[in-house]
Amino acid sequence: MTGEGRSPASSTPIALIDRVARELLAKQSVDDVLQYAVRLANESIGGASSVSIALVDKQRTVSTAASSNGLASAGDALQYQFGEGPCLDAVRISDVVHTRDLSVERRWPRWGPTVAADLAVRSMLSLRLYTHQGTMGSVNIYGRDVDAFGPDAMSVAGSLAVQVAAAYERSLDRHHLERALVTRNLIGQAQGILMERHKITAARAFEVLANASQRNNTKLIDVARRVVDTGVSPPHATR
């Protein structure tokens, strides 16, 4: 059985990975990277019916960030509900989690029978995604057939996982840099407004913003944005 919505894959795994590397490099945002990755994985991995990417936050909570269609989203949601499943195991226990037939799988006594019966999923492959900061999440591949993922599919999935993690880290770094530049520029604008209005130095203007942030338990960027948007100075700006 072919994957749902599948289009022809590249002629060889090497050609596929080369294409993935080039196209992921062109993606600008984190969301673009993840959505492209699940779509391409669903098209390219033999036996795949649906693909998701789950991410781990700072509190170690796992949540689905992208999916190629509703099947993977539903399967992931059941894993979170039951607190068990290959996605969670890939993040917490093993780099690669593979099951050939969920109808007889004993590792997940609640999740396995449920997805086999309710979602008609029989095979599953989850791979941990790494960045330099550690585990970022997992890519999760759902198959309708028993033993859907052979050696070639697993090899392609592993190579894709490496490329996706690298692209995710690049896009996240770019996002953080862009946010830092926006923050710096906004604070600079607020300083300029205070300097002009109150005839104070740049250092004093920054001190005014920082004091307002601390006094009101508000982020510095939010204090600066309020000054820029409203033109209203924080209290004690001239002291």
Domains of the chain in sequence order:
13-170 (3.30.450.40), 177-230 (1.10.10.10)
- Give residue 141's region: left, alpha or beta (phi > 0; psi -120 to 50): beta
Residue 53: strand pairing partners: 66, 139
Asked if residue 47 lies in contact with residue 143, where contact means CB atoms within 8 angstroms, the answer is yes
pLDDT tens, position by position, for the chain (239 residues)? 444 544 444 445 556 666 666 666 655 677 888 888 899 889 889 999 999 999 998 888 999 999 999 999 999 999 999 999 999 999 999 999 999 999 999 999 999 999 999 999 999 999 999 877 778 899 999 999 999 999 999 988 998 888 888 877 776 666 666 677 778 888 888 888 888 888 888 888 888 888 888 888 888 888 888 888 888 888 765 55
Residues whose CB is less than 8 angstroms from the CB of residue 15 and which lie 6 or more positions away in sequence, other chains included: none
Residues whose CB is less than 8 angstroms from the CB of residue 165 and which lie 6 or more positions away in sequence, other chains included: 129, 130, 131, 136
The residue type found at 30 is V
CA distance 92 to 102: 20
What six digits make up the tokens of 157? 């999935």
Element (H, E) at 122: none
